[in-house]
Structure 1
Amino acid sequence: MEWGSAVIRRTERTLLHRLVLRGAATFSLVSVVPVLIGVLLVCSAVPKIRSPWVWYRVLLAYDVLPDALTRAVAVVVPWMEATIAAALIFGLLRRAALAASVVMFAGFAVAQLSVLARGLVVECGCFSISGGSPVGAWTLGRALLLSCVAGAAFVASKKRKLEGRRLSCEGSCDE
């Protein structure tokens, strides 16, 4: 009898531990990660906004887009980063901002992959637009990781929203 109750208590503790950890992980993905991504995007946007011509020259070195389009991207990207950052930090349209950050980080990864495939040596332009690290496996991996983390936060926020809806329905929702 004692052995059986000890196993039950241990199982209950393990289940409780899993629920707490799972809840903490979901909380982190939904609440903490977007703010951290937002702060990262602010750190990325500020140097580009302060020195738009230097940022433009970094983009020209990527040699991915025609000059006219490169100028437009040089203007739009820093402000897009800043807007997404504000939305993530202040919790405004957080899911849309997470989706936009997934696409943006994936776009950065594609541009870096293009540079690597063509064997170009180009500054990344990620956080420092002059004297920064060159595009390489590290910067590509970072962009891909950020895209995946933002995607995981996006998915977790959807699950959390659905769980909240299920709890608020209390059996009266027809779904």
Structure 2
Amino acid sequence: MSIGKIMSSSITITVLRFVTGALFILASYPKIINPVHFSAVVAEYQLLPESLIPFAAIILPWIELMCGVMLILNVFAQSNALIMMVVLVIFTIGVTNNLLRGIIHDCGCFELLDGWLGFQEEISFSTILRDLFFIGLILPILLYGSNVFFRRR
């Protein structure tokens, strides 16, 4: 069986939808419950004008949550995968930009793990590799997932 057939199979797409959906839900939760902290994290990236930071800090976690839920439910999976891909690409560019400028700070990705496991992540080269891995997980959904309301593949 070719890699293309494996990546486009309904079982693979379903597993990837559940995994990436759960990851984005997990990432969104602490940002939603503590927007002030997430706003400080967004500011550390030094990419947005100061006036847009509160807006981004409130909207982005809800986008992550909704895309994660909709992926799990298989609602417009391709569209949600595209949104998640754009978020990850922008985030990866931001991390790369800050690393090249020597700015090291809290990633702001999985703050829930900090509370549960004492895990705090600063941006690093491994953050970029992890995000490229997540992009690789989302790509088959974008290419082969359904883009209708509650259609089963």
1:71-150 alignment, distance < 5 Å: 71-128=54-111, 132-150=120-138
Are 2:7 and 2:13, in contact at CA under 8 Å, matched by a contact in 1? no
Aligned to 1:41: 24
Q: 1:114 and 1:81, CA in 2 relative to 1: closer, same or farther beyond 3 A?
A: same
Matched to 1:149, the amino acid is L
Are 1:115 and 1:121, in contact at CA under 8 Å, matched by a contact in 2? yes
Q: Which moved more, 1:22-31 or 1:98-107?
A: 22-31
Name the Cα RMSD after superposition: 2.1
Q: 1:24 and 1:150, CA in 2 relative to 1: closer, same or farther beyond 3 A?
A: closer
Higher RCO, 1 or 2 (CA under 8 Å, sep at least 6)? 2
Aligned to 2:151: none
Task: Determine what percentage of the aligned residue pairs are the same residue.
Answer: 21
1:24 CA displacement: 7.7
Gaps of 5+ in 2: 147-153
Separation in 2 of the partners of 1:28 and 1:153? 11
Q: Which has the larger radius of gyration?
A: 1
Q: TM-score, normalised to structure 1's length?
A: 0.73
Aligned: 1:29 with 2:31: no
Matched to 2:145, the amino acid is S
Q: TM-score, normalised to structure 2's length?
A: 0.83
* Structure having the larger proportion of residues in helix: 1
Gaps of 5+ in 1: 1-17, 159-175
Offset from partner CA, 1:29-65 (integer Å, 9 cap, x none) = 3211011101000110000001110111111111111
Separation in 2 of the partners of 1:138 and 1:50? 26
Separation in 2 of the partners of 1:116 and 1:75? 25
Aligned: 1:52 with 2:35: yes
